[in-house]
Homo-oligomer: A and B are copies of this chain.
Amino acid sequence: MSRHFFIAPAASASTRWADAFPGARVLASAVQVPALQQADTVWLSSAVPDWQPRLARLAAGPAAPPVVVLALQPSQHEALLALDGGARGYCHALSAPALLREVAVVVHHGGLWIGPELMGRVLGAFRRAAPAPAAAPDLDLLSPREQEVARAVASGHSNKEIARLLGITERTVKAHLGTAFEKLGVRDRLQLALRIGG
């Protein structure tokens, strides 16, 4: 039995939600229900005046339920506010029941639901905040072949796998690793992976 809670102003068009999720509970915006913490999904209308602090309270805590913000007039600005506030989804309040059920499945399984047009904007915003990391200087200490082997090790491969990947003998892999250990001052493959991977 799935537990869905809708939080919306009194006169809202909650019939869509009732169609999509039979047995769901529709709450007046003023109500404070502790049971919300055990909900499968909380649908919060942005028509509720204090939806942002409500969202913050709902999304806090280790076992917080996924919250989807519903908007009668969706905007990218509001969508960013919702996602930044901890919402797991943002979609039109008048979406078809079938779509709402899709959204429920997604957020219930740990996914994030945002409109396709919003995705581009979100990615653009965060690419600016996450520049490409500089090349690790550690790797420059190694010869080209040693770098290949070292990267393969840092990817979790065994000597046998690396040998097959590079088309060389396992013995040769060991040789490259040995010199790589010495150059980087580590004692085994794990420490090497931590050096060039972290």
**Residues from 146 to 197 in A contacting B, C-beta threshold 8 Å:** 153-158, 161-162, 164-165, 186, 188-191, 193-194, 197
Q: If A86-B123, A190-B189 touch, does A134 touch B153 (CB 8 Å cutoff)?
A: no
Among A88, A190, A191, residue most surrounded by chain B Cβ atoms (within 10 Å) = A190
Name the B residues within 8 Å of A142 (CB-CB).
Answer: none
Assembly stoichiometry (copies): 2
Say yes or no: A61 contacts B135, CB within 8 Å: no
- Establish whether residues A73 and B154, one from each chain, have CB atoms under 8 Å apart when the complex forms: yes
Cα(A158)–Cα(B190), bound, Å: 9
A144 at the interface (CB under 8 A from B): no
Binding site for B on A (CB under 8 A): 9-11, 13, 47, 59-66, 72-73, 75-77, 80, 83-84, 86, 88, 94, 102-103, 105-114, 119, 121-124, 126-127, 129-135, 153-158, 161-162, 164-165, 186, 188-191, 193-194, 197-198
Q: Which of A13, A102, A132, A157 has the most CB of B within 10 A?
A: A132
Contacts of A158 in B (CB 8 A): 188
Whether the pair B110, A106 counts as a contact (CB closer than 8 A) is yes
Are B156 and A126 neighbours in the complex by a CB distance under 8 Å?
no
Given contacts A10-B165, A109-B105, A156-B94, contact A127 B84 (CB under 8 A): yes
